[in-house]
Homo-oligomer: A and B are copies of this chain.
Amino acid sequence: MIGQSGTSTERDGLDGLDTPCLVLDADKLQANIDRMRGQLDALHVTLRPHLKTAKSLDVARAAMASPNGPATVSTLREAEYFAEGGIRDMIYAVGIAPHKLDRVGAIRRRWNTDLAIILDSVAQAEAVAAWSRQNGDPLPVLIEVDADGHRSGVAPRDADTLVAIGRALSDGAALRGVLLHAGDSYGLSDPAALRAAAEAERRAAVAAAAILREAGLPCPIVSVGSTPTARYAKTLEGVTEVRAGVFMIGDLFQAGVGSCAVDDIALTILTTVIGHQRDKGWIITDAGWMALSRDRGTARQAVDQGYGLVCDRAGLPYPDLIVQDANQEHGILALRKGSSAALPHLPIGTRLRILPNHACATGAQHDRYHVIRGGAMTGQIWPRINGW
């Protein structure tokens, strides 16, 4: 076969894989998990890993405190898959649509799983309380609180709404606390600003919890979380748990934020060179946006990584070589604009590995991880799920 080295074939085992596909470095995964666990242990809070990035039971087991959880999910499909896999303590951390309550109830019953939901309006709270009464299942609920104007949630000092939701829930459902997500931290990159975002998230959480407790409502859980704020928090006093997900795998976007180093990224897309346009300095591969995802999150960061950073088969980046553009099943590799690096000689058939912009989006284009340890294929395949 053209351009393949017999020695490296024997060493890493990557030639046994068709391309494009996902390669997950289990050593880096474990180091990322250990680092986050160390950080949160020191701050005396529970890690409730968000499984929306990996969507894999194998990865979940590496990240959770116990095989039973706790964990966070982003879809009811995930809740079903992870409940089937033995996880018994989950929060479905997307505001509930009332029509989904029957499915929530079915998951709770079928797997005897403590699946909690979130909401941020009295209308939802009334629907949940009514469902709970009708079904004799007091659904555990966290009130979503808005940490930073990013998306959903009640304003953290809007006592009227917080208490009205709490009271509406008390007629059948089980108020379990407050939940926040400092999503605006994704737009930061300065450590001081990240520390401030983490502290603002903590303060908002504590303020909302205090309002509920002062009104005589229960608030055992105070849940915050985003990978950047989890990484940069200096204190989490008053917080009981942290949700974060992408930290396990990392990606170029998180490296741009400062939540990980490029070398920490555990996920690459294995691809093969299928052509060249030499006069343009292009190398064409079989990993287009279908394999990499359409995510261009680094386009708004200081270093635009295109559709990904190109590495050799050992996972070492080539200087300034990025996926400059992508069609559905074609990646176009080129040197970063203004680079003085030399375009590497990469004949047809050469295997390359691409570091992704966004692990959540790239993972979702695939149905399995091929696991490497010590830089070589283990033969293990970790399935992952998608869909709703």
Contact = CB atoms under 8 A, between A and B. Distances in A.
Contact of A348 (B1, B121, B149): B121
Given A152-B284, A329-B75, A364-B365, A97 B274 contact: yes
A218 to B, nearest CB: 23
A97 B291 contact: no
B291 A388 contact: yes
Interface in A1-57: 1-2, 15, 18-21, 52
Contacts of A251: none
A342 interface: no
Interface stretch (A172-180, A207-215, A228-236, A293-301): A293-301
Interface string A246-288: 0000000000000000000000000011111100100010100
A275 B123 CA distance: 9
A183 interface: yes
Stoichiometry, as copies per complex, reads 2
A330 interface: yes
Interface residues of A, number: 64
A376 interface: no
B286 A328 contact: no
A110 interface: no
Nearest to A127: B2
A221 interface: no
A95 B275 CA distance: 7
Given A99-B15, A294-B293, A52 B328 contact: yes
A119 B96 CA distance: 50
Central interface residue in A20, A284, A293, A328, by most chain B CB within 10 Å? A328
A332 interface: yes
A96 to B, nearest CB: 7
A62 B72 CA distance: 42
Contacts of A327: 151, 183
A124 interface: yes
A289 interface: yes
Contacts of A290: 74-75, 361, 364
A51 B273 CA distance: 24
Contacts of A275: 95, 119-121, 124, 152
Contacts of A291: 388
Nearest to A93: B329
Contact of A284 (B1, B151, B328, B367): B151
Interface in A333-363: 347-349, 358, 360-361
8 interchain residue pairs of minimum CB distance: A294-B294, A95-B274, A97-B272, A294-B295, A94-B329, A95-B275, A74-B329, A152-B275
Given A96-B274, A97-B273, 8 more contacts: A75-B329, A94-B330, A98-B349, A121-B348, A151-B284, A151-B330, A366-B387, A367-B386
19 contacts: A1-B98, A1-B99, A1-B127, A15-B99, A18-B76, A18-B99, A19-B97, A20-B388, A52-B328, A52-B329, A94-B329, A146-B277, A151-B284, A151-B327, A151-B330, A289-B295, A289-B361, A293-B294, A294-B294
